[in-house]
Amino acid sequence: MHYKIQEILLVSSIYDYYLFEEDGRLYELIRSEYQNLNLSQAPEITHVTTGEEANDLLKGEHNFDLIITTLHIEDTHVVKFANQVKEMGIELPIILLAYDNKERKELTTHYDTSVFEKIFIWGGDFHLLIGIIKYIEDKMNVVEDTQNIGVQVIILVEDNVKFYSSYLPLVYTEIFNQSQRLIQEGINITHKFLRMRARPKILLCTTYEEAWRYFEMYEENVLGIITDNNFKHYGIRDLEAGLKFATAVKERHKDIPILIQTSDQNLEEKVKKIGASFLYKNSPRLLHDLREFMLDHFGFGDFIFELGDGTAVGRAANLRELADQISKIPEESLLHHAEGNHFSRWLKARTEFYLAHQLRPRKVTDFESPEHLRKDLINSINSYLEERAKGVISDFRKETFDPKNSFARIGGGSLGGKARGLGFINTLIANYNIKYLFKGVEISVPSAVVIGTEVFDNFMHDNNLESFAFNETNDIKITQKFIEAFHFPKEIKQKLYDFLEIIKEPLAVRSSSLLEDAQFQPFAGVYQTYMLPNSNADINVRLDELLQTIKAVYASTYHQKAKDYMKATAYRLEEEKMAVIVQKLVGSEHKGKFYPDFAGVGKSFNFYPVPPQKSDDGIALVALGLGKTVVEGGNTVRFCPRFPKHLLQFFSTKETLMHAQQDFFALDLNGKLDHHPESTKDPLVKRYDLLESEADGTLFSVGSTYSSEDEAVYDGISRSGVRVVTFAPILKHKMFPLPEILNMLLGLGTWGMGSPVEIEFAVNLSVPPDKPKEYAMLQMRPLVISRELDELKVDFTPQELICQSSQVLGNGAIDGIYDLVMVDNNKFDRGKSKAIAMEIAKLNSKLLNEKKPYVLIGLGRWGSLDPWLGIPVTWDQISGAAAIVESGFKDFEVEPSQGSHFFQNITSFRVGYFTVDAAHKIGFIDWDWLLSQKVVEEFEFTKHLQFKDPVSVKINGHKNIGIILKPGI
């Protein structure tokens, strides 16, 4: 589903809006219902009272998806307004809401209302707005979704405006509830997004011709039909149009369920004679009977096995039960359901399109006997279940765990956010056959087990660690105490032992907390990840090392970084629980080191697009070796997957040498694991010089050579000279289809999650010649983008401003800020950037405890792994900042960072972010004014200013302009 309504323009009088609002609760009611139904984010609604205001907004930079208008607009007639919109060339759907049939009839009698997409009658139920939104989305998406993934359609024929205005929300609610049931009845959580997106589409028609056109267009995808009996046929009202339509459909497909609803009770016999169902419109049980029909005939309920006379002989709630019942039911029931295509219809209603399409073409006469039919059905279902299991996180069993591509769970409780993301990727790979989509490449999720949060709860309780962990502030003491904790569930130890008997390669032990990678506030990079060689000949030693590392990950839940992060959210630390992923590390061994050829991050939305790039083209950052270089803000190659040869950071030889990667990270296979009390870092991941990668043979695919003789950088490493990482062999000479793979996965992930996504990946090219190259997906999470509706006034004189930038992230106003933390640009020393980070951390901690948001101004790249490129703060050290300014050095240019967990957190918390580079005329900072202000607290390099009046931050994200006003302006 690509078309999604996110922005609605509502045009109505103040009084009409008051009726909508229900005491100001309309948006809250819609948002709450979206959450209850597991739908994506609710659309924003902008209200205006005049046609002039509406036209101004439509001509501006607002990107509306739908216009809803009432009959009463203050300055114009509603039909005139709608025609003006169309005359401006704006092809948005316009919905008209009337308050009763009388005023609607008066309008349609005297005016041509064809300019409106549809007219509805508002009866005070906010569910109608959800029905309208989904009706428009279905109409826009039905072609693509039926063709691409086999989504089913329900044709609803009704021309009584009042009736369909109340009926449409009911049908949608029942379909949403069906999707909810599918999720709850044992479907894996990773199917959630796909299940909701693959729900049946509803096509609302008002004439015979419109209904027949839809039927012919989507004949193979029609799940069922609900039709009135009295509507227009060839432009003339036909009292039996519904019967005629149903008869014509039954002649083509006798198995399509049809419900004819009418006010004439005498038609019931005629309706049943053609094989349709009858529903009396004036029945006091109308809605109940409709729901029962959808459950029984559209396949929304259990599959009821019946004999020809209707006697029930069995029931199945899921596929396993279906196969089991097929093996037991009488031959008469088997033939009855097979001849009526009941199996395929039930499967389609449950979004099992692949299996349904396998079964649908087969006729009973194609088989030698009913027993052959029975056996074929059971085999087809079981084969499908086995195939589908490849994308599901199942319980770990030593007998069934595949060391190549299994993903299993150990212990109860939640899997955590990161593991859910991996499970979702696994499902996408399995369901859409992308594993070998690219020749010579295998796309996969590395084998892993996930230790559920229940194990964490038991560990904390059994070792009496809760009070200590909450109150202790020293990270080293916390880690040491957790590692020394004696009690660990015996059955979990045994399963981990069994896992290590199967997996003897190096391991990554990753956090997967409840809140990690959440939709709106991902805890990216807050918790620990460790690497293990897993190479000791004694499996008990390997098990002990793994248990130590799992405990160290548990300990990171209570490190100061996590506690400070939590303070800036709406969550409490006690709500957080930790699952742990134990996963095969991607890469190959190279002379005592283990690492992938390269790793990276891809995002489907680019915060800083440079023409011809657009924001939706995405961005990727890659580096040789382990992904630590990328996620912690080191030097990387940054490129747009749609324009992989546009590498602005390498536009000159000087820039190439300045920005190219000089070293890389790898796992030391010969190192001794020691979670030393003086360190909480990953002890076995070490930094190596680039020359070692050339000796290992891994630089060949990503390297270039600088020749000092002619001051030029040449692709490849065949000549002598200084080695630099540019990824030219891949991005320019297509040695590996990285841009194409990223385009596909980012697009698929965005579609599946319903929002922009961020992925982490690793690639192993060091494989035997007869084996495919390995592209491993390590993570997929929603990418939070802060986009507010309001256009903000940002036209002030330079004398009124502390800062201005034309390269900003965010949108909106941040008010009520009285504090500012700054790095003194006259004292700044790049060699002392770590000390500067510690000064900022002290001020941040103080202001956080005082609950005072502040503006942070510094030099160079914030959050950089390389202290020479900027200030190497971590997110917890600046988590109280409401707006952050990044200024260029006087003598050195540093491009803005997008690769770090730090940067993801800035966007997640909707922190305003300014990049100022006076040398390139990207804004300014009034340093003289700042240095003249009264200082509350001062360190060697940093100052804390406090103002009597608040400063205001204003960011116009649409125009990419941001300002910070001086106090009181």
pLDDT in tens, 410-434: 988 888 888 888 888 888 887 788 9
Instruction: Looking at mean pLDDT, say which of 215-224, 393-402, 860-869 comes out highest.
Output: 215-224
User: What is the pTM (predicted TM-score) of this model?
Assistant: 0.55
Q: Do domains 1-138 and 394-585 have the same CATH topology?
A: no
Q: How far apart are CA 239 and CA 230, in angstroms?
A: 4
Q: What is the CATH number of domain 1-138?
A: 3.40.50.2300
Res 281: pLDDT: 87
Query: Residue 259: which residues within 8 A CB-CB, separation 6 or more?
Result: 224, 225, 226, 227, 276, 277, 278, 279, 290, 293, 297
Per DSSP, helices labelled H in 611-767 are 628-631, 653-659, 690-696, 728-731, 738-753
Question: Residue 442 pairs with which residues in a beta bridge?
Answer: 774
Residue range 306-333: mean pLDDT, rounded: 88
Model confidence pLDDT, tens digit, residues 572-606: 666 678 899 999 999 999 999 999 999 999 999 87
Are 967 and 801 within 8 A, CB to CB? Answer: no
Residue range 76-104: mean pLDDT, rounded: 90
Q: Burial level of 113, CB count in 10 A (0-12/13-18/19+)? A: middle
Residue range 242-259: mean pLDDT, rounded: 93
Lowest average pLDDT, out of 371-385, 701-715, 761-775, 883-897, goes to 883-897
Q: Homologous superfamily of 593-782 in CATH?
A: ATP-grasp fold, B domain (3.30.470.20)
Greatest CA separation for the chain: 97
Distance between terminal CA atoms of the chain? Answer: 46
Is residue 29 very low, low, confident or very high in pLDDT (cuts 50, 70, 90)?
low
Q: How far apart are CA 249 and CA 255, in angstroms?
A: 10
pLDDT at 930 over 80: yes
Q: What percent of the chain has pLDDT over 70?
A: 87
Res 283: pLDDT: 83
Residue range 41-56: mean pLDDT, rounded: 88
Q: How far apart are CA 487 and CA 931, in angstroms?
A: 56
Res 789: pLDDT: 35
pLDDT at 635 over 90: no
The correct answer on CATH 3.40.50.2300 for the domain covering 150-301 is yes
List strands edge to edge, sheet with 619-624: 441-444, 773-782, 757-764, 598-603, 619-624, 637-639
Residue range 441-469: mean pLDDT, rounded: 92
Are 812 and 955 within 8 A, CB to CB? Answer: yes
- Which H or E run contains 638? strand 637-639
Res 633: pLDDT: 76
Model confidence pLDDT, tens digit, residues 788-826: 434 456 678 889 999 999 888 776 788 899 999 999 989
Are 423 and 188 within 8 A, CB to CB? Answer: yes
Higher-pLDDT residue of 578 and 651 is 578
446: preceding bond cis by omega (within 30 degrees): no
- Amino acid letter for position 696: D
Q: What is the CATH number of domain 394-585?
A: 3.30.1490.20
Q: How far apart are CA 665 and CA 432, in angstroms?
A: 34
The DSSP 8-state label assigned to residue 673 in this structure reads: P
Res 241: pLDDT: 94
pLDDT at 23 over 50: no
Res 433: pLDDT: 81
Is residue 904 very low, low, confident or very high in pLDDT (cuts 50, 70, 90)?
low
Is residue 36 very low, low, confident or very high in pLDDT (cuts 50, 70, 90)?
low
Res 521: pLDDT: 46
Q: What are the boundaries of each domain within the chain?
A: 1-138, 150-301, 303-390, 394-585, 593-782, 798-965
Six token digits for residue 649: 């950071």
Q: How far apart are CA 564 and CA 875, in angstroms?
A: 9
Is residue 197 very low, low, confident or very high in pLDDT (cuts 50, 70, 90)?
low
Phi, psi of 661 (to 5 degrees): -65, 135
